[in-house]
Amino acid sequence: MSEHRHGNGPEHDHPHDNHFTDMEARVKALESLLTEKGLIDPAAIDAIVETYENKVGPRNGARVVARAWADASFAEWLRRDATAAIASLGFTGRQGEHMRAVFNTPETHNLVVCTLCSCYPWAVLGLPPVWYKAPSYRSRAVIDPRGVLAEFGLDLAADKKVRVWDSTAELRYLVVPERPDGTEGISEEALADLVTRDSMIGTGLALSPGAVR
């Protein structure tokens, strides 16, 4: 069973284009030119992008999730007013002004998509991954969410409901994954190490303690 929810408020209020914007095209052209001249190393640029996609940005969201796991009152605040709760930890900014937290449970798994473009909560998740912006993910996450999750290596029980949340320019989502077993008594910092970017989008689960180096 799956559900598809649109964010509250009017539809996206900005243009949608699956091609590069003028600025993106210029950046790509400049990168190619500098690479040809031997002035930059594409591998170094990829490493920097990887850092911001998977290490720096998502650490903010991981701290939010870890606090919710460790503090029931914060979890309730996050459920009631995610924007304020997240801001209380110092994470605010453009594309993160209006947030909603959706909590995974044994009965329900949440998945986030933006079907019309690539609205994404930069303040807590950093840069959006390439696949999040791809037309195939944006359409198939709604049509066949279980199939998409399986491609990410996430096979859910047949009786678990999948709820798909459609981000908009007015409202963005943060998935709070289920807390892994065997994490009782560990520090909030250690809990944050278990939270991945994909688990906060819904295409993955939180890591088990033994999976963290």
- The b/e string for 62-78 (b: 16+ C-beta within 10 A; e otherwise) is bbbbbbbbbeeebbebb
Please choose, from the candidates 182, 203, 79, the residue with its C-alpha nearest in 3D space to the C-alpha of residue 137: 203
Phi first, then psi, for residue 46 (nearest 5°) are -60, -40
Residue 118 annotated to the active site: yes
Residue 117 annotated to the active site: yes
Residue 114 annotated to the active site: yes
Q: Which two tokens stand for residue 94?
A: 């453009």
Residue 208 annotated to the active site: no
Out of 117, 139, 167, 199, which one is annotated catalytic?
Answer: 117
Out of 2, 73, 118, 136, which one is annotated catalytic?
Answer: 118
Out of 88, 114, 139, 208, which one is annotated catalytic?
Answer: 114
Strand partners, 44: none
Please choose, from the candidates 172, 180, 184, 181, the residue with its C-alpha nearest in 3D space to the C-alpha of residue 196: 180
Beta strands in the chain (DSSP E): 2-6, 99-103, 108-113, 161-166, 172-176
Out of 2, 32, 73, 119, which one is annotated catalytic?
Answer: 119
Burial of 154 per CB tally in 10 Å (0-12, 13-18, 19+)? middle
The catalytic residue positions are 114, 117-119
